[in-house]
Amino acid sequence: MSGSNNRLGILLMIATTFVFAMQDGISRHLASEYNVYLVVMIRYWFFAAFVVALSARRTGGLKTVIATKHPVLQCIRGALLALEIVVTVLAFTLLGLTETHAIFICYPLIIAALSGPILGETVGWRRWSAIGIGMVGVLIILQPGFGVFSPAAVIPLVGALMFAVYGLLTRYVAAKDSSATSFFYTGTVGMVVMTSIGIWYWEPISGPNWIWMIALCISGVLGHWLLIKTYEYAEASAVQPFAYLQLPFAAALGMLAFGETLRTNVAIGAVIVVGAGLFTLWRERQSQA
């Protein structure tokens, strides 16, 4: 990739994180008004339609995209991501955008820690040190033992673990399946899973909130389209550090739109977690060079 392509990719990644942060804010609003299963289900209906339309336009059409060497793992991936979104949106309603993202952002460290036992990758002492330091940052955010620890704070941690396992499964199937195939199963399996759960929680949605629901669906499709374009133009290692910008974008939205506050321990812990995560990305890039 040329430098100019990487610069364009970085700009696209920044736009992607901004759109996803807006999506999270809309999800928080809707999930505080309606059941979280209902909100995520409708979001997946639009997402699946986008995935199928995109897949049908590829060379060979749907038949080629559907073909997979890992049908069971692809289905597990799709279901896991859908359920992770439910867990994370629930955390938005309980903790807010700022604290949820500050905790959730540790997922790259969990991926690094699990990449050894699950994928057989070598994780050296430097990355293990960064993982340990990052977990200290998470503990600073959670403040266990200070009498103010909220059990709800564990929810985004569970979401981060689920997303990390999803990421590792994605890496594993990528050895034999194309990214288009993985994307197809992410959308369609997630839609089936969420419909089978969410349909039991259907309730009428008011006119103004349908506008927000449409905005949620559009932001989801736009965010994934931008992400696809990002990786078309740039190397993953060049743009991945900028994915952390979703944290300040979401925190700013939480404070401006929902009146959230940024506690000192959350700010300090988040800086430590992000720093440790960036170091693990750098070490991974060095080991692959």
Domain limits, the chain: 3-288
3-class SS of residue 116: helix
| Stretch 27-38: mean pLDDT | 96
Long-range contacts of 260-265 (CB under 8 A, 24+ apart): 260/96, 260/97, 260/98, 260/99, 261/98, 262/98, 263/99, 265/140, 265/141, 265/143
Task: State residue 148's pLDDT score.
Answer: 47
Neighbours of 63 (CB within 10 A): 9
**Which among 42, 65, 41, 43 is positioned nearest to 53, based on CA atoms?**
65
Report the percentage of the chain scoring pLDDT > 90.
Answer: 54
The answer to whether the beta carbons of residues 247 and 18 sit under 8 Å apart is no
| Stretch 201-223: mean pLDDT | 93
pTM: 0.89
CA distance 162 to 156: 10
Query: What contacts 179, CB < 8 A, 6 or more positions away?
Result: 231
* pLDDT above 60 for 146: no
CA distance 191 to 186: 8
The answer to whether the beta carbons of residues 9 and 242 sit under 8 Å apart is no
CA distance 107 to 197: 26
Of the chain, the end-to-end C-alpha distance in Å amounts to 15
Count of residues making up the chain: 289
Selected residue with higher pLDDT from 60 and 189: 189
| Stretch 133-137: mean pLDDT | 87
Average pLDDT across the chain, whole number = 88
Query: What contacts 96, CB < 8 A, 6 or more positions away?
Result: 28, 254, 258, 260
Task: State residue 149's pLDDT score.
Answer: 55
| Stretch 176-192: mean pLDDT | 94
Residue with tokens 């300040």: 248
Task: State residue 3's pLDDT score.
Answer: 46
Structure tokens at 282: 């750098």
| Stretch 191-219: mean pLDDT | 95
Q: In Å, what is the CA distance from 277 to each residue of 106, 231, 237?
A: 7, 20, 13
* pLDDT above 80 for 63: yes
Task: State residue 81's pLDDT score.
Answer: 95
**Which among 32, 30, 17 is positioned nearest to 251, based on CA atoms?**
17
CA distance 277 to 283: 10
Task: State residue 1's pLDDT score.
Answer: 43
| Stretch 153-166: mean pLDDT | 92
pLDDT digit string (tens) for 223-262?
988 988 887 787 777 788 888 999 999 999 999 999 988 8
Task: State residue 144's pLDDT score.
Answer: 62
* pLDDT above 90 for 126: no
Cα angle 33, 39, 41 (rounded to 5 degrees) comes to: 160
pLDDT digit string (tens) for 70-121?
999 999 999 999 999 999 999 999 999 999 999 998 988 888 888 877 777 7
Lowest mean pLDDT among 109-113, 123-127, 138-142: 123-127
CA distance 210 to 232: 33
Q: Which is it for the CA torsion 94, 100, 103, 107, positive or negative?
A: positive
Lowest mean pLDDT among 5-9, 10-14, 80-84, 86-90: 5-9
Local confidence band at 147 (pLDDT 50, 70, 90 cut-offs): very low
**Which among 53, 69, 51 is positioned nearest to 185, based on CA atoms?**
51
* pLDDT above 80 for 199: yes
